[in-house]
Structure 1
Amino acid sequence: MSKQGAAATGEGIDWWSILTDRAFLENPYDELKRLQALGPVHLDEASGVYFVLGHRAFLKVAKSSELGRDTRHWKNGWTAPDYRVHDPVGYRLFSEFQPQMINCDGAEHARMRKVYEPAFRSQAVRDVGALVEAEAAELLDAMPREGTVDFIEAFAGPLPLRVLCKLFDIPQSLDETVARWSASLIRIGDILMTPDQKSEALEALTEFKAFLREHVAARRARPGDSLMDLAIRAHDDGTLDEEETLTNLVSMLVAGHETTVTLIGNGLLLLLRHPGEMVRLRADRNLLRTAIEEFLRMEPGGNMILRVAREDVEVEGTLIPAGAPVLGLVGAINRDPARFERADEVDIGRPANAQLTFGSGPHVCIGAPLARLEAHIAFSALLDRYASIELAGEPEWRLDRLNARGLGRLPVRVGGAA
């Protein structure tokens, strides 16, 4: 086995030009199919990043104990000796964003994740259903009975934000501020960030933590059983230190918001572009569960999933050395023809849908059950409210981020009581 192995295929690919190209950000799938046909794993010599496009290959990456999510193991990453000198803002941003479960592995990761797992177990998530239904109904009541509306602005954007803020006991008056912080911090997942984006994200992180520090202190005086209370109890009993408490809260609010916005928005766009599937779903609401998995597969809310090799590891004949970053390209992984029949076709009844939008292995998204519940309630309420939902213009994808894949605008024309 050679050191590069299968990674040698596709040499000369300008990965970062592709990933930052406007056309790719709007529709990556044709280009991803071309790259996937060259092999499941590729090394970008210029950056040292290994790109994974195959479903089987990425499952190995996600589940292997030799690979993790702790970027402190990245050989030439932000912990490299000269990084602090060359990029002090970036170093401060990544170091202050580090102490949280998504960025740790092994026992450190398990210790933090255990704090929040009770809130995302089946019964606990089901108990949130009434809250989600009430928020969805309020937003739908504010939308026109007939006419044109931007679905992202009116519904998909505010719904998960309102739910999360209620769960964390954050007043609705802060919705716009939390959304602004979230929009800045979500770019940390882009890998490539401009100096201005790093400064903006650091400012948002500093402000967010300062707010949460005061919010936690106030909430401690009136304890309950919310997500916030889980965090407070874990801090008070020594399971989490203060920075871990604050950074995990920031991350859950940011990721929990963006994940569900993209799931609801991208999912509706798929139905609008495949009206036969919309008719099928209206006729049989039992298909909602599999429909949501198909939305996640066909239009994932993220382009990339990051892992870092803690030790040398072989993936599909390629030796990935310790310290190397690995990026799973989700749009290719979820449409791998070696894993999915009719991989490029939308089928809301697709059985055994092995999509990997939420990842896999120890770092599988902890909030995935909540995102699925919110999407299920959102689509049920939407189809109950409107007999007709159609595109009313060209959707606009957000082009200010490389990883989080979502719509900035989705104009729809709604009408009629369902």
Structure 2
Amino acid sequence: MSKSNTEHEQPIDWWTILSDLEFLTDPYPTLKRLQKRGTLHFDPETNIFFVLGHDGFSRIVKAPQMGRDTRKWKGGWNSPEYRDRDPIGYQLYSGSQPQMINCDGDDHARMRGVYAPAFRAQMMSDLAPMIKAESARLIEQLPLGKTVNFIEAYAAPLPLRVLGNLFDIPPSMDSAISKWSSALIRLADIMMSPEQKLEALTAQNELKAYLSEQIALRRKNPGDSLMDMAIRALDDGTLSEEETLTNLVSMFIAGHETTVTLIGNGMFLLLKNSDQMNALRQDNSSMRSAVEEFLRFEPGGNMILRIALEDYELEGTIIPAGAMVIGMIGAVNRDPNKFDNPDQFDMNRSPNPQYTFGGGAHICIGAPLARMEAHIAFSALLEKFSTIELAGTPQWRLDRRNARGMSNLPVRLEI
């Protein structure tokens, strides 16, 4: 297998591929074909490097020469030319910049340190009863013997309510937060239409305004929620007001969408592999490894980006400072050089070094929570229902380039 395809063969039209409905429905045949051409590709139209190999991506996410600060993307949204050409896009991206996921070094450590204690093992253990209660409440509302959209009835509302409890946000806000989340998740698409940018900017402003109101109210009646942690960091000067709001927005969006896709995609895989679903129902000791295989086999995102902070050599190619590098996670997680039978779903796969939550300093801070939610969500479902079967044609969301999840997963349930 050729290791690099940065100079040879006809250039790949990446952004046409990433918008193609066939790719968005099933990206793996295309990724496999491109991976055979090389594990590192350069797109001359956008000056972006695409990494399709596990080893290369592992190096990228761990290298100190690589970061997440998109202000340093040469020719990107932070350039004067972009600001003049696309003022809406500039407002949107600059408004989402000051947060832990988009900062490096000391700024990243400072912001992440505010929330890291909430995601430690003991804190996760303390959250389990609340997550189980929310799961049980939703399960009791699921109809028997009728077709139900699993995404709308279970996969989406569960993480939304968990987040609501963590931030002490009432259920009456679930619809608004879901709407804001759907608009803002497209920031991860990198390339957005003017209409999508305007919709996302509106959502960003509305969510920040709501959070500002909540901060003012919580100061009068402090507690121990994640919102209160953010307020304390704001008041003691650890975070600025804009950093506080932007990090809260990010945690709402990422914390919701990441878990929706994990639960939805995981159920899709179990429905396609009923023998493994039945084995898991009889003995859920493999649930932990099953969740890891959900993440590997159907990751909830197509792309993870990095920005070269300085020149960096990968597979014999110099990635210049200021270049964007995109890891194609569907290819990374199914790299035949790393995984045996990579296109086979195996809930007992071990080891399973998948990269759906990223890696290095910027590994997803909420990954422990998402994993626990999935563990509880599937354990409760398999314990309650003797039959969970597909009752129609699943439909993937086709309005996003990056976030990969389903809009409709019709199932029928029996006790």
What SS does the aligned partner of 1:51 have?
strand
Aligned counterparts, 1:139-158, within 5 A:
139-158=138-157
Paired residue type of 2:242: E
What's 2:296 paired with?
297
What's 2:345 paired with?
346
2: CA distance, partners of 1:294 / 1:391: 20
What's 1:286 paired with?
285
What CA deviation, in whole Å up to 9, does each residue of 1:195-252 have, x standing for no partner? 0000000000000000000101111211122111110110010000000000000000
Is the contact made by 2:60 and 2:66 (CA closer than 8 Å) also made in structure 1?
yes
Shift in CA distance, 10/172, structure 1 to aligned 2, threshold 3 Å: farther
Instruction: Note if 1:43 corresponds to 2:42.
Output: yes
What's 1:207 paired with?
206
Is the contact made by 1:333 and 1:356 (CA closer than 8 Å) also made in structure 2?
yes
What's 1:90 paired with?
89
Paired residue type of 2:43: D
What's 2:108 paired with?
109
2: CA distance, partners of 1:146 / 1:6: 52
Paired residue type of 1:221: K
What's 2:273 paired with?
274
Is the contact made by 1:389 and 1:412 (CA closer than 8 Å) also made in structure 2?
yes
What's 1:164 paired with?
163
1: CA distance, partners of 2:269 / 2:397: 16
After TM superposition, give the deviation of residue 396 of structure 1 in Å: 0.5
What's 1:314 paired with?
313
2: CA distance, partners of 1:401 / 1:331: 15
What CA deviation, in whole Å up to 9, does each residue of 1:83-109 have, x standing for no partner? 111000000100111010000001110
What's 2:411 paired with?
412
Structure 2 runs not aligned, ≥5 long:
none
Is the contact made by 1:6 and 1:318 (CA closer than 8 Å) also made in structure 2?
no
Is the contact made by 2:301 and 2:402 (CA closer than 8 Å) also made in structure 1?
yes
Is the contact made by 1:136 and 1:159 (CA closer than 8 Å) also made in structure 2?
yes
Is the contact made by 1:263 and 1:300 (CA closer than 8 Å) also made in structure 2?
yes
Is the contact made by 1:9 and 1:38 (CA closer than 8 Å) also made in structure 2?
no
After TM superposition, give the deviation of residue 9 of structure 1 in Å: 4.0
What SS does the aligned partner of 1:408 have?
strand
Is the contact made by 2:357 and 2:364 (CA closer than 8 Å) also made in structure 1?
yes
Paired residue type of 2:216: A
What CA deviation, in whole Å up to 9, does each residue of 1:281-305 have, x standing for no partner? 1122000000000000000000000
Paired residue type of 1:362: A
Task: Report the number of matched residues.
Answer: 413
What's 1:131 paired with?
130
After TM superposition, give the deviation of residue 316 of structure 1 in Å: 1.6
Is the contact made by 1:334 and 1:355 (CA closer than 8 Å) also made in structure 2?
yes
1: CA distance, partners of 2:121 / 2:112: 16
After TM superposition, give the deviation of residue 6 of structure 1 in Å: 4.4
What SS does the aligned partner of 2:15 have?
helix
Paired residue type of 1:56: D
2: CA distance, partners of 1:333 / 1:27: 15
What's 1:401 paired with?
400
Shifted more, 327-336 versus 136-145: the winner is 136-145
What's 1:186 paired with?
185
1: CA distance, partners of 2:317 / 2:276: 40
2: CA distance, partners of 1:9 / 1:74: 25
Instruction: Note if 1:58 corresponds to 2:46.
Output: no
After TM superposition, give the deviation of residue 145 of structure 1 in Å: 2.9
Instruction: Note if 1:77 corresponds to 2:76.
Output: yes
What's 2:17 paired with?
18
After TM superposition, give the deviation of residue 352 of structure 1 in Å: 1.5
Is the contact made by 2:39 and 2:52 (CA closer than 8 Å) also made in structure 1?
yes
2: CA distance, partners of 1:142 / 1:68: 44
Shift in CA distance, 142/158, structure 1 to aligned 2, threshold 3 Å: same
TM-score, structure 1 normalization: 0.98
What's 2:233 paired with?
234
1: CA distance, partners of 2:404 / 2:179: 17
What SS does the aligned partner of 1:404 have?
coil
What's 1:259 paired with?
258
Percent identity of the aligned residues?
A: 60
Paired residue type of 1:143: L
Q: Which contiguous aligned blocks of 4+ residues in structure 1 show a shift greater than 6 angstroms? A: none
Shifted more, 280-289 versus 4-13: the winner is 4-13
Structure 1 runs not aligned, ≥5 long:
none
After TM superposition, give the deviation of residue 11 of structure 1 in Å: 3.5
What SS does the aligned partner of 1:258 have?
helix
